[in-house]
Structure 1
Amino acid sequence: MALQRILAVDDEPFNLEIIEEILEDLDFELKTVESGKACLGVVEEFDPQVILLDVSMPQMNGYEVCKAIKANPNTQHIIVMFVSARGSVEERMEGYSVGAEDYIVKPFGQGELKAKLQHLSQMLKEKDVLAQQVEDATSTAFSAMANSSEMGQIVNYIEQIGEIDSIPRLAAALCQCLKGLGLNCNVEVRLEGQKHHFATTGICSPIVIELFEILHTKGRLHEFTNRILVNYPWLSILILNMPSDDQEKHGRLRDHICFIASVTEQQLLAILTKRKLTQQREDLEAAITMVQGKFKSMISLLDKNRQENEKVFRVLQELFEERIPTMGLDEDQEQFIYQNVDKAIQSSVAREASVHEVRAAFHDIEEDLKVLSRRAER
């Protein structure tokens, strides 16, 4: 469903007026309130899809309001975009730790806010489609695993990914495995200069992508509230719903996640290695084809030259046999000429053997190249 209803919350009426002016030409239903309590009072009835929430408000600040929204099963699905005059990493982390999906810093331009809302509108459409696809795809895959142990699911995942050779399929299997452990996750894969994002819900929110950008080089493990982020060189996994009320289960799942991330990282390396080997094999096969063509052309040219030489000598021999008896030469002179002509012809015939030797040598080289090609396929 596209974005239709927006709730703006700010204790400064002037700021609300600015938001109204920016959004007046867009097809959104906008409602404004001037406090956190007022927001909580209307949010269920109005049922917005996005809340533009000011951080710095008296009595009840934006973080507290967001916590309350995300703690309520009836409102936890609503996208919260914080609006703040401050945008440090710490404040963005705080915003994300209470459940916000995006963050915009005042003063913002008209185009910036519109672009973010239009992006969220598209995200809502894709999320509905992908959520259904994920539900359909995973229901069958995990029905047999419903009663299995956590380790059983991990072993199943490890056995499955050995046959996977594409990033999207590997990410889908990873998300399914973590979902089978009861975990909601976001994944970033960094491979060959590109970044790929995946999530159990189908779409990574802007603030999640921003966190990956900020933290993927800042250490192996980050934990905040009920979230955990695990980093490897090519892979980052963000878990959104760690069991904070059960420390034993929390620790066990954390170990599982780190192990799964490590295994997935190795499979990414295997995929990359296979791609390189495939490219090398294709390059080698192209080189073999080119060399074979050159060999055949060269042998054909040698054989043609030999045939032309032999033809010339045969014609010359016939000419000498016809003319010499009429030249008045003595027998020794005739024998001398016949012997030299015969030597020249024999030399031409010998070249045919040389051509055969060259062809045999080229054949040996071709066989060696085929052996190299077969080795490259292994």
Structure 2
Amino acid sequence: MALTKILAVDDEPFNLEIIEEILEELDFELQVATSGPECLEMVEGYMPQVILLDVSMPQMNGYEVCKALKANPNTAHIIVMFVSARGTVEERMEGYSVGAEDYIVKPFGHDELKSKLKNLNQVLIEKQSLEKQVEDATSTAFNAMANSSEMGEIVNYVENIGFINEPEELGKALIDCLKSFDLQSNVEFRQGDEINHFALSGVCSPIVVELFEMLKNKGRLHEFSHRILVNYELISLLILNMPDHDPDKHGRIRDHVCFIVSVTEQQLRAIMTKKMLESQQAKLNAVASTVHSKFHGLISLLNENRQSNEKVFKQLQEELEERIPTMGLDEDQEVFIYKKVDETIQNSIAREESVKQVKAAFAEIEQHLSLLLKS
């Protein structure tokens, strides 16, 4: 298990006792601090992987402590989960803007905290396994920026995504495109009830997922600190490192990002439409196959019935021709019997013409189905 060491910071001893009680049964090494300065003083010596940080504390509040942790290269990698009695969108955005990875609202239960730590443990595992890949990707991004223009990258991206037929491949292509601009990004795709997340680091942190959910219907563009969130109907994109040091570049990148997300959404719609049509085509093929089978079964039954009727009438004619002369009937009686038999045969022939019409109608229906399937 990647997560083994936790530091809990709260000025209320009772809150620390609750955390200790919840984590007692888990295999974590836990230390506590009762203030922000104490946390900063002991953190480098203890080096926890996760810090449970109270927001409201005297001397230094949680936001100030988190800023100090993230500003220190030796502690910037430590995952911070804010613990607060309030959980508004503004407070969560403030928490994320200073670098926190997650947020939990007091009072919380045993299962909620354990679930949060389980998610952070997964984030930590994936971050560790992808560290080298991220370093390589950063190096590749710098080389790409040196060898091609911003618009060239966008044109290449637009040309290439036209050949993509899977949402997951499209999400990775979007992350790679933004990586070529040296942008660290998180993406959410919404396809009906299915939601997928993509990130340069391989996984979106829980607080990013919560921000996507809270802000997806709150307007097209949100800018806070050096981050920008772009919302479309099916896609939300969060950029973590907008170039605030260069206002001109910041404006260009913002416009590029909005255009790239718009184009990506159109391709995602095309992929979803294609999959829907393929599903409908498969269902239509199945229906056509069933209809074809039923038609031919019915025609076979009609043919068998016709052949049976012919056999019966032929046998009847033969028996009448053999028996009538020996029955002692007068001529009128013989003529009457032959007339009735002939009328019956003619009625049968008329029904045979109806059968031919039914077959012709079936053939026409099959032809229409064939044309429909081809189109």
Per the TM superposition, whether the score is higher than 0.5 is yes
* TM-score, normalisation: structure 1: 0.89
* Distance in 2, Cα, partners of 1:291 & 1:71: 70
Q: Deviations over 1:82-122 (max 9, x none)?
A: 12233222211111111111112233333332322222112
* Distance in 2, Cα, partners of 1:134 & 1:325: 106
Q: Contact (CA 8 Å) 1:303, 1:352: kept in 2 or not?
A: no
* Distance in 2, Cα, partners of 1:143 & 1:287: 54
Length, aligned pairs only: 375
Q: Contact (CA 8 Å) 2:119, 2:206: kept in 1 or not?
A: no
Q: Deviations over 1:21-49 (max 9, x none)?
A: 33233221222223323323333332221
* Distance in 2, Cα, partners of 1:212 & 1:131: 25
Q: Deviations over 1:173-201 (max 9, x none)?
A: 11111112111111111211232222111
Write the letter of the residue equivalent to 2:29.
E
Note the 1:119-134 alignment, pairs <5 A: 119-129=119-129
Q: Deviations over 1:234-276 (max 9, x none)?
A: 1111111111111111111111111111111112211221122
Q: Contact (CA 8 Å) 1:306, 1:351: kept in 2 or not?
A: no
Which residue in 2 is equivalent to 1:307?
307
Q: Contact (CA 8 Å) 1:185, 1:238: kept in 2 or not?
A: yes
Which residue in 2 is equivalent to 1:278?
278
Which residue in 2 is equivalent to 1:359?
359
Query: How far did residue 14 of structure 1 move?
Result: 4.0
Note the 1:1-378 alignment, pairs <5 A: 2-129=2-129, 147-328=147-328, 334=334, 337-338=337-338, 341-342=341-342, 344-345=344-345, 347-349=347-349, 351-352=351-352, 354-375=354-375
Q: Contact (CA 8 Å) 1:130, 1:201: kept in 2 or not?
A: yes
Query: How far did residue 218 of structure 1 move?
Result: 0.6
Q: Contact (CA 8 Å) 2:183, 2:239: kept in 1 or not?
A: yes
* TM-score, normalisation: structure 2: 0.90
Query: How far did residue 361 of structure 1 move?
Result: 2.7
Q: 1:242 to 1:165 in 2, by over 3 A?
A: same
Write the letter of the residue equivalent to 1:214.
M
Higher mean Cα deviation, 79-88 or 140-149? 140-149
* Distance in 2, Cα, partners of 1:138 & 1:40: 30
* Distance in 2, Cα, partners of 1:357 & 1:15: 87
Write the letter of the residue equivalent to 2:4.
Q
* Distance in 2, Cα, partners of 1:75 & 1:115: 24
* Distance in 1, Cα, partners of 2:372 & 2:249: 52
Write the letter of the residue equivalent to 1:248.
D
Write the letter of the residue equivalent to 2:231.
N
SS of the counterpart of 2:128? helix
Q: Contact (CA 8 Å) 2:138, 2:182: kept in 1 or not?
A: no
Query: How far did residue 335 of structure 1 move?
Result: 5.8
Structure 2: gaps of 5 or more residues: none
Percent identity of the aligned residues? 68
* Distance in 2, Cα, partners of 1:320 & 1:68: 114
* Distance in 2, Cα, partners of 1:283 & 1:111: 44
Q: Deviations over 1:306-350 (max 9, x none)?
A: 112111110111112112333455667656654654554455456
SS of the counterpart of 1:279? helix
Q: 1:86 to 1:196 in 2, by over 3 A?
A: same
